[in-house]
Structure formats: structure tokens, C-alpha cells
Structure 1
Amino acid sequence: GSHTYSTPGYHQANVTVTDGESQSSATVGVEVAYAPPSGLTAAFDNLCIGDEGVLAADCDAKSWAYSRAALVAGGVTQGQPQQVPGTALRFTVPVIPAGRPDNATGNGATVVLDLPQDAKSISFIGAGTQGNQSTTGTATFSDGSTASVPIQFSDWTLGGNANGTPSYGNIIVARTAYRLQGTSRDGAQPFLFATAPYQIPAGKTLVSVTLPTQTGDPRSAGRIHVFAVANDGTPAPALATVAGKDQTASAGQALAANLGTVTGGVPGTTGYRARVQWGDGTVPQDVTIGASGAMSGTHTYAREGTYTVRVTAWDTLSSSTGSFTVTVARGGSQPAIALSASGTVSTGGAITVEGSGFAAGEQVTVSVGTDPGRTTKVAASATGKVRASVPTSGDAEPGRYAVTATGASSRTPATATVQVTERAQARTYRPRVALLTTSGPRGTSIMVDGSGFAPNETVTITFGDGLAVSTVRANGDGVISGATVSVAGAAKAGATSVTLNGATSATKVSR
């Protein structure tokens, strides 16, 4: 896969592979180097350097290429400053990841040079393919004026004559023993050249060079290939990042880290920039850089462990990375929880959980036992506190259950115990009544027995439509024994009802 990173530094990429039924993931580290957005590397559009048996390259559109190992043996190592023989010109062929474009052809790109102030001449490092290549670029100066600048390269194999003489005053900077064809070796011996020095006009400051636009089929017309630009100015000290010493921290507590120092290079008008990857999977952060180049940053690790911290600093031309380790001990303030209602809840009820000591803002999962199987997720506050209401299962057996709160990042569980009791059920009352006296003349006392009332509740006995009313109290077992109500003299002859109404149970029974 491919991805474009917007900032230099150490990045982590997650890779997931699936076969449709299962999947597996892995995390890989990616070190991203800085390159000027308008410098030479931004103009690279061609791949000329390969590795035999591993990586094919195609420098001339016919599958021939330089060998990386042969270039090193022949005098040029990517990333290493080198001298153009017999001159004060110095150059560095940049380090480019294998398989990525490593040179610029005649593609019309404008290349910002950012030369030392005392530079008086430049030279292009490269070669021509499909024969000698003689063309012209455009030099632009700080005052806005322009001038033509010759870009002339000999054929990279000198026409197949390893003992031939370069054209255009080219200087050999690398002589390789073989060439690649695909991933195999070829008998030809390609060279890398420096063009004849271009003298910067007196009083001018060279800002950029625009490459020519070459047309035609590269397999026949050929192309120039520019790998670097040499100059004779006083080189700035190499950019260097010296990482801080190994440090210690406590989980959950902010670490004010000494990230090291950055020196050398070409800081430019805005100074250096730097980013730090703390090693715990969090997003890289910008670094504070002091006037002396001292770098610092603050970070809070959520959990204990040993982490590799990588700091990348960059100037206007390149970047540099250093690393150290931070050993994080278990924090003094560990997660803890407390339960409301003295830790007791009825089956199906909710228990309120309050906790502290969690990492700021982390997601905390609170669960009640394994049988109730209920969980709630809440976010910790900025001070590491949580509050959650967690329901118990309606069919949970009474007993004691563990309440556990676990932070997503701190991962240290806090526990407490809750007592789950059986839910109190509302009692159902079913009063019954028996009449000991079932008939008689007006004024007769009717005797009543009853049961199934609420303990000690008041029961009203009513004869007919209010012809006689009496109030009695049930005993502790909800029983009424031998209660009487006298039939009024005005009662009509015939059948009528006796009704008992419980005041507490709110139940009514008639006979």
C-alpha cells in the first residue's frame, strides 16, 4: 500500500489481514524523513537505482539501472557528503527509500537550491541515457533576474566504452563495475558525473534552477538524470539531534521530559521544528525548542511499562532523529470505587458507583458480577473521577457480587462488593367471610367471622345499603372473630348483603 505523510518523524501504521473468516493485525513503525517541498527530491520522477535479486529499477526506459551496491563500491553512498574530485564542490546524493524515484529527468520542475551565502559555483550530479545529453536550464536569482545554465551529461556508459573520455568537461564522481538488467547483472559499466561548474554571476544570489522540458520517447531520445546539486559554499554543520537520557515516570502523572537538543543544519528564518512520538500509541506532538536548541515536552502515560521515545527535528533541508526510553512505574494513585446505599441493592435494581484514580478522559467499563452480566461505560473526568449507575439483572439470584471498574488505558481494575437481595413482593390479600347468623327479625344482631385481611387493619362491616354499620379491628393474623352488627328496625323483609371493607389491604368482600 501507499500513504503520504504530512510531517516527518516516527509514525505507526496498523496492518490488518483477513481471509473472510478471521483476521490478524500488526503494527509497524515508519520513520518519515523531511525533504523540502520545493527542493530537488520533490522533482524526482525516475527510478535509477536498484538492488540485484531484490529490486528492479528502470533508468533508461529499457530496464537497465544502477546497482546500489556497485555505486557504493564505486565512490558514491547515498546520504554521505562527498567531494567532486579536483574541485571545491561538495554534494550529497539523498537517501531515498528503495523503490521510490531517486532522480529528476528533464521534466521542467523548478528546484529551490538554498545555497550557502558564499557559494560561487554549482554543478549537477548525474548522467545521460541513450547517448550524451546537452540541454539548458534556467537560473533564477534573488533579484528576480534569470539566466540560462547549461546541463550537459555524458552517456552513463560512455557509449559502452568503460575507458572512454567524458564529454562537456564532465568529472567522474563514481565508476561502477556493472549495471543491472531487471534484478540481474549486466556487463556494462555505468558512471555518475559532475557537470562542468557553473559560475554564479558576481553580485548575484542564485535561488533556483528550472530544469528543461525534454520530449520524445525516452527509449530513443534519452533524458538527463539529476541525482544531486553540488556547490562550493562553506557547508553548514550537519543537522544533529541528540536525544535526552533515559527517564522515569509514574502512570497517571505528567512527565516534563528533556527530549534532547538539536544543532547544526540550516534552521532558516523560522528556526527548527521537531515532533515527538511518545511510544505509547498516542498521536505525535510538536516539541518546544529553546533558543539553544534544547527540546522539551510534557506527556502523561496511562499505564506502567517501558516506552521508546523518538524525537525528530528538521531544518530547511533535512531531518534527524534520536531516541531514548522512559520507564513508567505504577502510579501512586490507583483506581478505586465506592458503592452507594451501603453496597446493597434489590434484584433488578441499580447500584451507583463512584470512582477515582483513573486516567484523565479514559473510557471506564463498570460491570456487576458475572451472573447479572450488566455493564455500563462512562468517561473519566479530567481529574480521573467516574460516576455510573449500573443495573443488576432482574433474574439474578440473591447473594454477593463483584463490581469491577476497568479503564481502557490504565487497565488496572478497581473492585467492590454489592449485596443483591430478593426484591420485596407486594402481599396479596384474599379476605373470606362467614355469617354465623343468617336470618332473624328486625333488630337481630348478625354475627360475622372473617380472615385474610391485613394484620391489625380496621375493617368496616356494612349491612345492606347502610342500614347498619360497625367497625372492628382484625388481629395480628388478619382474622375477625364473632363481630356483630345489629339490623336496623327499618330494614325491609327479605334477603340482603353484608360487606366487609379492609382499610389497609383495600380489599372488599360481601356475603
Structure 2
Amino acid sequence: MVSGPGATSGSAQFTVGASDALSDYSNDVGVSPDTNRGCGALDNGTDTYSADALATASPQALTPGARVTAGGLTFTWPRAQSCQNDNVRALGQTVLLPHRSGAGQIGFLGAATDGAHSGTVTIHYTDGSTGTAKLAQSDWGTTPGAGNTLVSAMTYRNQALGRQDHAFYVDEQSVPVDPEKVVASITLPTDKDMHIFAMAQDGVPSADH
């Protein structure tokens, strides 16, 4: 079982954190309240999702700790309050996952900024083997593209100088994994414009973890 820093997978060395809670890897503020619009930097400036708009988004509202479904998976929106780190910018981190048996996919809740972005996710299994898959995210200001499922749509975002009226989205994307194995961790792409607010797997909790 891969569970600590510097664990090996085949001949490759990779570093993992000590937690399988995605919130422990959050490194970016992507949500601000309408009363403090300039406290985040999702779009490499001061642009963020509006907490107020997310709370009334459709078809699913997103509030701290809300459970939403997409792509056959159930996600928990970050419990972080506005102006706190609430998403993971993909910077090549290796993230531990709760062990689940029979999982055939990993789902990601989020969106890209500054255009659509994609990159390779490396999947590390508990038996020491690895696999790869492509994660592609649509831009948060465009209608979800191929492989992206609409989770929430809103009519504006926040900027430091005020509200910007435009359609913005939170999407779900999935990558396949081997259901005959158990995922120990994943290594994210290295692309600061890819943002992950939540992850989920199918399958059932594994007895080994």
C-alpha cells in the first residue's frame, strides 16, 4: 500500500502528502463573497466565482459542504469559507485518494481558466503499478465542451472592481482507472490554469484502508 512520502511505483519515485483529504492540498482561492470581491485569484488576477452566485446556481447550487452528483459520482463541494483556499491548482502534485475497490473512474469537479486546458494524470495503484489518463477541462466562461458535464451555471463572476455579467460554469470531468486494482494516489498535470474543487471515485471502500 502506498501511504507515505517517497513511495516508489515501479522504477519511478514520487512524493505524496500525508492526507487523502483534497482540502489539505488546496492552494488557491477561487470563491469570493459579493461583499469582498477581490480576495481571490482564480483567473490569475482577481477574478473568482461568486459565493452568492454559486449558492443560487443551476441545475445544482454549490455552498460549503454541499453534496452534488455528476457523471454518476457524488462530490462534496469544499467546506472552505469565502476567501480561503478552496481549490487545487494542478502543479504536478501527487494526491492520496481514499482506497476504493472496483472503481472504474475518478471524477473531478472544476474548470480551467484562460481557455480550455488538458494534461496527463498519472494513476498510482496499491500494487505498485501505474497508468495514465488525459484530464481535459473547459474554460469556466464557456459552455462545457466534450468530456465535461455541466454541474452548475451562474450569470456572473466577481472581479476586484465589481461584478462581471457573463455565463460561468463549474463542470465535471472523469478519467478511467483499472477496476481490478485499487488507486493509491494520482499525480496531477503541471498546469496552473487547471483547477480542481472536488474529486470522487465509484466503487466501494476498500478493506485494506
Tell me, yes or no, whether TM beats 0.5: yes
Give 5+ residue unaligned stretches, structure 1: 1-35, 159-163, 215-221, 237-265, 270-511
The correspondence for 1:209, drawn from 159, 162, 186, is: 186
TM-score when scaled to structure 2?
0.81
The correspondence for 1:149, drawn from 117, 128, 133, is: 133
Residues 44-443 of structure 1: matches in 2 within 5 Å? 44-56=26-38, 57-74=40-57, 75=60, 76-84=62-70, 87-158=71-142, 164=143, 166-182=144-160, 184-195=162-173, 197-214=174-191, 223-234=193-204
TM-score when scaled to structure 1?
0.35
What percentage of residue pairs aligned between the two structures are identical? 29
1:121 and 1:38, CA in 2 relative to 1: closer, same or farther beyond 3 A? closer
Pairwise CA distance, 1:120: 2.3
Runs of 4+ aligned structure 1 residues displaced above 6 Å come to 266-269
CA distance in 2 between partners of 1:147 and 1:114 (Å): 17
**In the alignment, is the contact (CA less than 8 A) between 1:54 and 1:183 conserved in 2?**
no
CA distance in 2 between partners of 1:66 and 1:117 (Å): 35
Partner in structure 1 of residue 5 of structure 2: none
Query: Which SS does the other structure have where 2:100 is aligned?
Result: coil
CA distance in 2 between partners of 1:183 and 1:268 (Å): 51
1:183 and 1:101, CA in 2 relative to 1: closer, same or farther beyond 3 A? farther
Q: Which amino acid counterpart does residue 104 of structure 1 have in structure 2?
A: V
Partner in structure 1 of residue 9 of structure 2: none
* Deviations 1:320-352, CA, capped at 9 Å, x for gaps: xxxxxxxxxxxxxxxxxxxxxxxxxxxxxxxxx
Q: Which amino acid counterpart does residue 171 of structure 1 have in structure 2?
A: T
1:52 and 1:230, CA in 2 relative to 1: closer, same or farther beyond 3 A? same
CA distance in 1 between partners of 2:102 and 2:66 (Å): 22
CA distance in 2 between partners of 1:202 and 1:46 (Å): 32
1:68 and 1:175, CA in 2 relative to 1: closer, same or farther beyond 3 A? same
CA distance in 2 between partners of 1:38 and 1:149 (Å): 20
**In the alignment, is the contact (CA less than 8 A) between 2:133 and 2:176 conserved in 1?**
no
Pairwise CA distance, 1:38: 4.8
**In the alignment, is the contact (CA less than 8 A) between 2:102 and 2:180 conserved in 1?**
no
Pairwise CA distance, 1:187: 1.1
Query: Which SS does the other structure have where 2:55 is aligned?
Result: helix
**In the alignment, is the contact (CA less than 8 A) between 2:32 and 2:49 conserved in 1?**
yes
1:227 and 1:183, CA in 2 relative to 1: closer, same or farther beyond 3 A? farther
Query: Which SS does the other structure have where 1:42 is aligned?
Result: helix
Partner in structure 1 of residue 4 of structure 2: none
CA distance in 2 between partners of 1:102 and 1:193 (Å): 16
**In the alignment, is the contact (CA less than 8 A) between 1:140 and 1:147 conserved in 2?**
yes
**In the alignment, is the contact (CA less than 8 A) between 2:102 and 2:181 conserved in 1?**
no
Q: Which amino acid counterpart does residue 51 of structure 2 have in structure 1?
A: R
Pairwise CA distance, 1:54: 2.6
Pairwise CA distance, 1:183: 6.2
CA distance in 2 between partners of 1:126 and 1:135 (Å): 14
CA distance in 1 between partners of 2:43 and 2:146 (Å): 21
Query: Which SS does the other structure have where 2:185 is aligned?
Result: strand
Q: Which amino acid counterpart does residue 67 of structure 1 have in structure 2?
A: S
Partner in structure 2 of residue 471 of structure 1: none
Pairwise CA distance, 1:168: 3.2
**In the alignment, is the contact (CA less than 8 A) between 1:176 and 1:190 conserved in 2?**
yes
1:59 and 1:187, CA in 2 relative to 1: closer, same or farther beyond 3 A? same
